[in-house]
Amino acid sequence: MSRTLPRPRWWSIVALVVACTGATEEVDPQADAPAGVNTEAPANPETPEVGTVEQMSKGAESVALVPSPIETQKALEASGIDTQLASLIPEHAFDLEAADTDHAAVRSGVVLADLLLTVKSAKKAEMIQRIDTIARGMEQLEGGDDIQSTLKEMRARIEADAVTRDELLQEFDELSGAVIPELRFNGQDRVVPLIQAGSWLEGANLVSRALEDVPDDRRGGGERLLKAPSVVDHFTTYVQTEGSDAAPEVVTKKLRETLGVLKALAEKTEPLTTEDLTAVTKATGDVLALL
Amino acid sequence: MITWLAPVLWLSSAHADTTEAEACLRPKVWEGYAEGWGVRTMTSTEISDGKTRNYLITLYAGNEYRVQTCSDAGARDLDVLLYSDKGSVVARDNTVDREPVVTFTPSETGTYYLVVYHRAAAVPSGKAAVALAVVYR
């Protein structure tokens, strides 16, 4: 371990948060045991009785539900489509003064996705600007002092050319996958899902645009990346939560509409058509334009 | 009397040590970076003896996934199982230990269920702290 990353500090944030988090749902595998669970793998008498899919999903946690932007890029390439999502990222004109939870969280998620996807190609100034935007969002969302220190330290090392792009990729990956999702945001439960929604919407927008340029018969499994009904349901739950910190109705309304479009397409059994992809591009683009 | 009871009470409450579980998991995740693994998520939880925790997880076809776990001394045997959205076991660990790992390359993009099963506690009816990471490459 020759790395000089501030990892112990990051993990101390995570540990502190976990210590303060309320209990999540634990499942008694013997309770409501089903008549039988279909098992493709060799039968093991000691397989826990987890019940039916409905029973299994009841109380299931969503902490690992949402794929990361880098993961999406890899899956796109695995499906035979070489388009680099980073090359499709537009110049976003965000309203950084919009400080309500929905705005700040979704915007931070979008920028986090851009930061990850462009880590190998972005100019130093672009990276710093994205880190500053995330820091602003974390401040508006009451993410706490530790995340500000972490971002500040990252920024300083980038500015001083004291960190390689490979190291940054790992650090941003951890920031997105482990550090920010474990922050408490002063007890605001909606923040992390909305940040993830922002990252996922940006990813969906980029994937749909990438696929629009690929002939129907060459899209392979790429279009499946846009079919994630569980992810859409997860985000919808939080978008529909009302609160005093909610964004202006125009934003939440558009977000709900967009998730509705994505849900309908996610449930399509046939492959997505070019028209479907255009609908995804437009629906996600409309939300991104409001941020 | 109180002094004698203290260790007993401590054992019976089976205090779960999240810090220990995380300290075990952290280096495994960091070392994975050298092999091209990226992090989807890292989290911690507590599981009582004989109970499970279920997680919804989206997996993309073509990517390779690994679920890495570590529990504190509260567990004697921890298991990890991955179920398809039809309820079929698609991957599982077959070890008797408290640091199970499962690797899986899905052929279908979709939602899966990750089940972490506290099969046997170190102390009957005890709790275990479990740190969990989902990594991909």
Closest CA to A5 of A141, A237, A166: A166
Determine the pLDDT at residue A246. Answer: 59
B contacts of A70 (beta carbons < 8 Å): 38
Q: Do A11 and B26 touch (CB under 8 A)?
A: yes
Determine the pLDDT at residue A290. Answer: 86
User: What are B41-85's pLDDT values in tens digits?
Assistant: 999 999 999 999 999 999 999 999 999 999 999 999 999 999 999
- In our burial notation (b when 16+ CB lie closer than 10 A, e otherwise), range A25-50 reads ebbebeeeeeeebebeeeeeeebbeb
A contacts of B87 (beta carbons < 8 Å): 37-38, 50, 52-53, 56
Residue A253 falls inside a structural domain:
yes
pTM of the model as a whole: 0.84
Confidence of residue A4 (pLDDT cuts 50, 70, 90): very low
In the CATH hierarchy, which top-level class contains the domain B2-136?
Answer: mainly beta
Determine the pLDDT at residue A144. Answer: 96
Are the C-beta atoms of residues A280 and A262 closer than 8 Å to each other?
yes
CA angle A65, A110, A121 (to 5 degrees): 105
Are the C-beta atoms of residues B66 and B85 closer than 8 Å to each other?
no
Q: Is the dihedral of CA A148, A107, B37, A159 positive or negative?
A: negative
**Domain hosting residue A124, numbered range:** 69-87+95-289
User: What are A195-221's pLDDT values in tens digits?
Assistant: 999 999 999 999 999 999 999 888 888
More confident: A34 or A73: A73
Residue A243 falls inside a structural domain:
yes
Give yes or no for A174 touching B (CB within 8 A). yes
Give yes or no for A65 touching B (CB within 8 A). yes
Determine the pLDDT at residue A99. Answer: 84
Average pLDDT on A123-137 reads: 97
How far apart are the C-alpha atoms of A65 and A237, rounded to whole Å? 14
B contacts of A221 (beta carbons < 8 Å): 61-62, 109
A contacts of B132 (beta carbons < 8 Å): 64
Are the C-beta atoms of residues A6 and B56 closer than 8 Å to each other?
no
A38, pLDDT greater than 90: no
In chain A, which among 75-114 make CB contacts under 8 A with chain B? 75, 77-79
User: Which of A21-35, A132-146, A215-229 tops mean pLDDT?
Assistant: A132-146
User: What are A75-102's pLDDT values in tens digits?
Assistant: 999 999 999 999 999 999 898 988 888 8
ipTM of the prediction greater than 0.85, yes or no? no
- Number of structural domains (chain A) is 1
**Distance from the Cα of residue A85 to its chain's centroid:** 15
Pick the range with the lowest mean pLDDT from A43-52, A56-65, A162-171, A189-198.
Answer: A43-52
A to B CB pairs, distance under 8 Å: 191
Q: Is B122 helix (H, G, I), strand (E, B) or coil?
A: coil
A19, pLDDT greater than 50: no
Which chain B residue has its CA at the smallest distance from A52's CA? B87
Residue A6 falls inside a structural domain:
no
Q: Do A18 and B134 touch (CB under 8 A)?
A: no
Residue A40 falls inside a structural domain:
no
Residue A280 falls inside a structural domain:
yes
More confident: A145 or B2: A145
Q: Which two tokens stand for residue B116?
A: 């972490």
Q: Is B75 helix (H, G, I), strand (E, B) or coil?
A: strand
